[in-house]
């Protein structure tokens, strides 16, 4: 895990915890953390007051096609990122596993 030090406000902390919990739960059920050799790497990058958190899973069950994100948890993540944190999330389902990129502004993180 290589995430830079950052200030996180009360509202953003609750939202981030919810997002990380949901991504972790899905990884344990269906993704890389459901396999003995699976790995999870979380990193970040920032530029011009914006931050990206990168969630990268590898070594899990083979991904045969794009996953449809129609479940309650997926909707919860999407809405929390956009409405509570004013950001966006992109998913990349490659054969190696899921890469989710969460883009946020530092201003929203500190609120």
Q: What is the mean pLDDT of each run of 10 residues along the chain (111 residues)?
A: 75 93 94 94 89 94 69 90 94 90 89 77
pLDDT at position 69, please? 63
The model carries a pTM of 0.87
Instruction: Reduce the secondary structure of the chain to three states and give it as a string.
Output: CECCCCCCCHHHHHHHHHHHHHHHHHHHHCCHHHCCCCEEEEEEEEECCEEEEEEEEECCCCCCCCCCCCCHHHHHHHHHHHHHCCCEEEEEEECCEEEEEEEEEHHHHCC
Ordered by start, the domain boundaries in the chain are: 10-109
pLDDT at position 78, please? 94
pLDDT at position 49, please? 82
d(C-alpha 79, C-alpha 77), whole Å: 6
pLDDT at position 23, please? 95
pLDDT at position 48, please? 87
Phi (first) and psi of residue 91, to 5 degrees = -115, 135
Q: Which CATH architecture has domain 10-109?
A: 2-Layer Sandwich (3.30)
pLDDT at position 2, please? 61
């Amino acid at each position: 895990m290589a995430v830079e030090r950052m200030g996180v406000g009360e509202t953003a902390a609750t939202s981030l915890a919810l997002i990380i919990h949901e991504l972790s739960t899905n990884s344990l059920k269906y993704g890389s953390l459901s396999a003995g050799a699976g790995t999870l790497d979380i990193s970040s990058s920032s530029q011009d007051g914006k931050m990206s958190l990168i969630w990268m899973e590898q070594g899990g069950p083979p991904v045969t096609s794009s996953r449809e994100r129609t479940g309650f948890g997926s909707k919860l993540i999407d809405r929390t990122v956009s409405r509570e944190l004013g950001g966006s999330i992109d998913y990349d389902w490659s054969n190696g596993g899921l890469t989710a990129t969460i883009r946020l502004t530092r201003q929203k993180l500190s609120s």
